[in-house]
Amino acid sequence: MNVSDALRAIIASKGVTQATVAEKLGVSQPAVASVLSVGNPQTRVLCSMLNSLDYRLVAVPKDAELPEGSYELEAKTHSSA
């Protein structure tokens, strides 16, 4: 799952809107929408967004089992046209 899809899924699972996330972060809703559309946020932005949703960014070994409710993120790939 790419970062944007994971953030959207977390937002939906929390039952909140982009506007709610933006308010918690002290930014505008279009700023949150921009992060979701670009899909490759800076680490500090990603951590801030996750924190506002009561999640955290954690690195685990590839062969480790993920806890229930976790999301495995993949880098957004750029396809050449």
pLDDT in tens, 4-55: 899 999 999 999 999 999 999 999 999 999 999 987 888 999 999 999 999 9
Is residue 35 within 8 A of residue 2, CB to CB? The reply is no
Structural domains counted in the chain: 1
Question: Can you give the pTM of this predicted structure?
Answer: 0.80
Domain that holds residue 19: 3-52
pLDDT, position 77: 65
Q: Is residue 11 situated within a structural domain?
A: yes
pLDDT, position 71: 87
Q: Is residue 57 situated within a structural domain?
A: no
The token pair that represents 50 in the structure block = 């996750």
Q: Is residue 35 situated within a structural domain?
A: yes
Q: Is residue 21 situated within a structural domain?
A: yes
pLDDT, position 74: 79
The token pair that represents 1 in the structure block = 């799952």
* pLDDT(81) > 70: no
The token pair that represents 17 in the structure block = 């809107």
Q: Is residue 60 situated within a structural domain?
A: no
Q: Is residue 75 situated within a structural domain?
A: no
